[in-house]
A and B are shown apart, each in its own frame.
Chain A
Amino acid sequence: DAGVIQSPRHEVTEMGQEVTLRCKPISGHDYLFWYRQTMMRGLELLIYFNNNVPIDDSGMPEDRFSAKMPNASFSTLKIQPSEPRDSAVYFCASSLGGGNEQFFGPGTRLTVL
Chain B
Amino acid sequence: TQLLEQSPQFLSIQEGENLTVYCNSSSVFSSLQWYRQEPGEGPVLLVTVVTGGEVKKLKRLTFQFGDARKDSSLHITAAQPGDTGLYLCAGGTPMNRDDKIIFGKGTRLHILP
Contacts and interface: CB of A to CB of B under 8 A. Distances in A.
A93 B41 CA distance: 12
A106 B100 contact: no
Contact of B99 (A41, A55, A104, A105): A55
Contacts of B98: 55-56, 98
B45 to A, nearest CB: 5
Contact of A107 (B42, B101, B103): B42
Contact of B103 (A42, A50, A56): A42
A48 B103 CA distance: 14
Interface residues of A, number: 22
Given A42-B105, A43-B88, A99-B31, A33 B100 contact: yes
Interface string B86-113: 0010001000001111111110000000
Nearest to A98: B99
A31 B99 CA distance: 9
A101 interface: yes
A48 B100 contact: yes
A18 B105 CA distance: 29
Interface of B: 30-31, 33, 40-45, 48, 88, 92, 98-106
A42 B103 CA distance: 8
A97 B31 CA distance: 14
Contacts of B104: 42
Contacts of A33: 100
Given A42-B103, A99-B30, A107-B40, 14 more contacts: A31-B99, A42-B104, A42-B105, A43-B43, A43-B88, A56-B98, A91-B42, A99-B31, A99-B100, A102-B45, A104-B43, A105-B42, A106-B41, A107-B41
Contacts of B106: 42-43
Q: Which 7 A-B pairs have the closest CB atoms?
A: A98-B99, A104-B42, A42-B105, A99-B92, A43-B103, A101-B45, A104-B43
